[in-house]
Structure 1
């Protein structure tokens, strides 16, 4: 349901280019009215992203539309996930041991970001406080997140020996143990 303005997509592109990290970016055009039509694919990304972006990042990045999130997260080459912070995305990331940087768009995602970052230490922040609700049409008062903020978040997310990465790995192992025969999830369902 949520979407980002074209100006925000440009800031993300600048940040991705600056980090030097490899990336897979699932980018979709925000719906003009989410209650009437879903987000769509951009018809010409070159009109939206900075001039020369694809040329400069062609060896290390790919911009696509919709992506099979579970399949992407299951790939061991994935080092981090900038996510809207919906609960399914959080659980899938933890299951596969992929650290996240939540970017909440609406609903419970702000709470999830706070919980994951501040309370549990299982995610890195891009921005501390999120204003507005990014459901298109309702998010006109949202503030542009700068390329510098995004870059800082991605660099922190990709830090190999970070405490967050260690905690996410431990949580992933705990998730798998919980689902084993005799694990806490199975035991809870039997009572």
Structure 2
């Protein structure tokens, strides 16, 4: 699904024609072009907004990895995601935003027990984050790292980076009251003004 906009109709039409040509050259069997005011256009975008709900309906529970990679590396990254899926024997349905390289990858529990799924998730997150890192990407493109993924942060960015970020946080939050222990797996000693491991 590709959306085009702009102030110059000829430019937009030219971009559209180019994409249709690329699609045809790559054996896309059916290309549907809709204007923004076509009622079917809204129906298509509504369907896109239900992708996550549709995936939820296929499994007992799931978790999500949101990696972001350079857009020219998306095809290679998706091949690596498939390899991770096969290696871990876990379904990883995914979709994303090709325009900015943000990929939503869902880890499906299916028939695994809670304990088995916890182990599988850990393996998959580590593997997907390594794929992102090897592709010059990041751990997250739009949903942030937060509390749920903080244990993977230092492995991805390195201890020096985490220490630097912790010190920057201390400069703006000397009392450690803003999202305490939520992002960095470090805390800052108030007495010594030093970063130490949690």
Same fold (TM over 0.5): no
Between Structure 1 and Structure 2, the one with more strand by share is 2
Between Structure 1 and Structure 2, the one with more helix by share is 2
Normalising by structure 1, we get a TM-score of 0.25
Bigger radius of gyration, 1 or 2? 2
Which structure would you say has the larger RCO, counting Cα contacts within 8 Å and 6 or more residues apart?
1
Normalising by structure 2, we get a TM-score of 0.24
